[in-house]
Structure 1
Amino acid sequence: MFRSTSPPTGATKRPAAAGLALTRMRRRVQFGRAGVWAALAAGPLALAVAVGRPSPTVAASPEPREQRTAQTTSVADPSDYVAEFVDAWLRSSDDASSAASRRAQAMAPDVPLPSLDEDAPTPRRVTPVRSAPREGGRWSVTVAAQYADAVRYFAVPAIIAADGGSFAVTTAPALVAAPSEHPLPEPTYKVTVEEGPLTATAGEFLAAYLAGRGEVARYLAPGVKLSAVSPAAATSVEVEEVSAREESAAGERVPRDGTRVHVLVTVEARGKSGRWPLAYELTLTARGGRWEIAALEAGTTATAGGARR
């Protein structure tokens, strides 16, 4: 066998390419040294810049960002301050040395004080009932002054810093009318529920819940947890009205398992101090021929259309 002694074609090109790369590297080193020596001649600061300067790279220009203007709004609600001011203002008089007058003038020195007779009634309590923010930290606050025989409403313009650190009443309060009656929405619970298994379960559950008569847990659906009012708020609970959303709640028999209904139950709770008419929204589910409480809600905007007495 014969082997060729001539070097491969690629072998003759590799030394030349390696030599060219070595030459370029030496030039870079020489340029770098020249830059360092020039920096030494210029001073320490130039040396630091020359040594720490990264190699130039091409970076994509950042996309233009949308400029947003920060809007600072007042987060402090001056309602309690206004109520305190109105309470002092209604108790003050022409005598600027009285405690109420000094308190009102300390909070609003530019607001004139009322001139009231010595036997003029004073409010039992002043409570904020409405607050509406305006621009620039300004607010409009309405308070209710509760007297022995009436309730007076005052609208007060005020301004407060965003952190609540400063407060001012800008003008004298305005005596305004009470809010008008708002129309009630359409009844949510339209089905009348007569006496039967559902009303019995609801009544027994609320007796346990409010008066501690029996265990609440025995009326709850599986997985539902609900604690009774403690200490017990009533000695007896009587169902007054029951209305439902679904027709299946009004049946004389408990429907098939899994049936779910929503009812509004009005009860009269009696205790040592008197009686209270109370209303609860209950969700009940049918299981094993009985109704069980699946949820309890209170204080919603539900209205009843049916009734039972």
Structure 2
Amino acid sequence: MKFWKSRGRQSSEAAVENVVEEWEQRGPEAGGWDLSPGARANATVLARWLAWAVICAGPILGLLAWMSAAAAVDAAPPRQPRAQHAEADGTGPSGFAELFVAAFVAAGEGDQDQLAPYYPSAGQLQLDGKPGRQRATQTTAVRVRQTAPGAWSVTVAARLKPTSQPKDAENKDAAEDPSGALRYFQVPVLASTGSGSSGAEGYVAATLPAEVAAPGRQSHQPQLGYGPERAAVPGDSRAETAGEFLDAYLTGSGELDRYLAPGLHMEAVSPAPYRKVEVESLAVAGEESADSSATGVPADGTRQRLLVQIRAIGTDRVGVPLSYALTLTARAGRWEIAALDATPATVHRTPPTAPTGPAT
């Protein structure tokens, strides 16, 4: 190291001496000036200092450049974490819970590995009984509630059937039921990010399923937003339009577009499941009497919502009752189908408010 420093210093001094010597020899001639001995001495000293300044400035400028680059790297904004996809409708969690329940009810001794993809702690479980002693013939999510960001509570209905005839009478009665016993399981589902290179988002069960009672059922028919139901009478233009449309929609007979309002496009059910459609009754939103019927068509743009009850007759000549919620609009003296409503019109009832003062 000392040898390198001495060699470097010697080379720097030699460079300075060469610059000064060249200036002393050619400086006056090159500039056209005739200097006195004193001025020449001063110029020599100045040239020497300038040469040393240039040599010393190189490392300093390099150090400053390196420090500026480091500061620029430190000032770069941190990378923001990738936003995780949010399941707004709960389709993913409900499907995961259905698969987990199907594997859970069929699991038996030694089936811990079958449950591990859904519940990572399954290896610590004690599983009894013969694997596959029962199976779920049907599973469906009947309630999905998001309890927190990335967390859901899913209630799964499962129809279970034993794979072998039980010996006790109670289970034997259940086994003879062709549809199987309907049971309900509640599964807490959490969103998880995969640890692999893809980092794909998935789901994991926080605990084992909990068997619960059936969710609360509607004890009475909900109040719909239609008038009284009445039989379809001949000459009712709304019933005729609805019947002709549903006949083309369900049987494939006739052109469907002729019954649709401009801008609405629909495809008929294919293959056609029925051969004939009969309108039995209808209810119209806004009507208060069951005796009224519409033989004419009102002004263009008039819209009405209907609830139509039909009987669709299949190839086996068996009639199937079906209900359709339709929106009709009037145009050019006839009714047209403006929408096949996803849900019927309902009456929105305001829940009673709690009393603000003491009861008297």
Same fold, judged at TM 0.5 (above): yes
2:208 is aligned with 1:197: no
- Residue-by-residue CA offset, 1:110-139 (whole Å, 9 max, x unaligned): 344354799x65321333333434458554
2:313 is aligned with 1:270: yes
User: Which residue does the alignment assign to 1:156?
Assistant: 187
1:105 Cα deviation from its structure 2 partner: 5.2
Q: Which moved more, 1:121-130 or 1:37-46?
A: 37-46
2:140 is aligned with 1:127: yes
1:83 Cα deviation from its structure 2 partner: 2.6
Partner of residue 127 from structure 2, selected from 90, 113, 123? 113
CA 162–215 in structure 1, closer or farther in 2 if over 3 Å, else same:
same
1:189, 1:244 within 8 Å by CA — same for their partners in 2? yes
CA 271–79 in structure 1, closer or farther in 2 if over 3 Å, else same:
same
User: Which residue does the alignment assign to 2:282?
Assistant: 242
Q: How does 1:173-192 map to 2 (within 5 A)?
A: 173-182=209-218, 185-192=222-229
CA 74–161 in structure 1, closer or farther in 2 if over 3 Å, else same:
farther
What TM-score, normalized to structure 1?
Answer: 0.64
- Residue-by-residue CA offset, 1:29-78 (whole Å, 9 max, x unaligned): xxxxxx9x96763225517969xx9xxxxxxxxxxxxxxx9897784744
Name the structure, 1 or 2, with higher relative contact order (CA <8 Å, separation 6+).
1
- Residue-by-residue CA offset, 1:222-266 (whole Å, 9 max, x unaligned): 443333222222111111221111349832322233322121212
1:88, 1:101 within 8 Å by CA — same for their partners in 2? no
1:89, 1:101 within 8 Å by CA — same for their partners in 2? no
User: Which residue does the alignment assign to 2:107?
Assistant: 92
Distance 2:298 2:152 in 1: 55
Distance 1:292 1:43 in 2: 87
2:271 is aligned with 1:231: yes
1:209, 1:229 within 8 Å by CA — same for their partners in 2? yes
Work out the number of aligned pairs and report it.
248
User: Which residue does the alignment assign to 1:221?
Assistant: 261
What TM-score, normalized to structure 2?
Answer: 0.56
Q: How does 1:24-173 map to 2 (within 5 A)?
A: 41-44=56-59, 46=61, 75=86, 77-93=92-108, 95-96=109-110, 100=111, 102-104=113-115, 107=119, 108-113=122-127, 115=129, 121-135=134-148, 137-147=150-160, 148-163=179-194, 168-173=204-209
1:154, 1:176 within 8 Å by CA — same for their partners in 2? yes
Residue type of the alignment partner of 2:181: A
2:296 is aligned with 1:285: no
SS at match of 1:122: strand
Residue type of the alignment partner of 2:243: G
CA 133–230 in structure 1, closer or farther in 2 if over 3 Å, else same:
same
User: Which residue does the alignment assign to 2:303?
Assistant: 260
- Residue-by-residue CA offset, 1:67-111 (whole Å, 9 max, x unaligned): xx9897784744433332322221223x32xxx554135642234
SS at match of 2:136: coil
Residue type of the alignment partner of 2:58: G
CA 73–259 in structure 1, closer or farther in 2 if over 3 Å, else same:
closer
Gaps of 5+ in 1: 1-34, 54-68, 305-309
Q: Which moved more, 1:104-113 or 1:229-238?
A: 104-113
Gaps of 5+ in 2: 1-49, 69-79, 161-178, 195-199, 348-360
Task: State the identity %.
Answer: 40
Distance 1:224 1:264 in 2: 19
* Larger relative helix fraction: 2
CA 81–112 in structure 1, closer or farther in 2 if over 3 Å, else same:
farther
Distance 1:168 1:261 in 2: 47
RMSD: 4.0
CA 151–40 in structure 1, closer or farther in 2 if over 3 Å, else same:
farther
2:329, 2:336 within 8 Å by CA — same for their partners in 1? yes
Computing the radius of gyration from Cα coordinates, the structure with the larger value is 2
1:74, 1:160 within 8 Å by CA — same for their partners in 2? no
User: Which residue does the alignment assign to 1:294?
Assistant: 338
SS at match of 2:114: helix
Residue type of the alignment partner of 2:266: L
SS at match of 2:279: strand
SS at match of 2:240: helix
Residue type of the alignment partner of 2:329: T
SS at match of 2:135: coil
2:113, 2:123 within 8 Å by CA — same for their partners in 1? no
Q: Which moved more, 1:260-269 or 1:189-198?
A: 189-198
Q: Which moved more, 1:211-220 or 1:124-133?
A: 124-133
CA 139–215 in structure 1, closer or farther in 2 if over 3 Å, else same:
closer
Distance 2:193 2:273 in 1: 42
2:104, 2:115 within 8 Å by CA — same for their partners in 1? yes
CA 159–192 in structure 1, closer or farther in 2 if over 3 Å, else same:
closer
SS at match of 1:202: helix
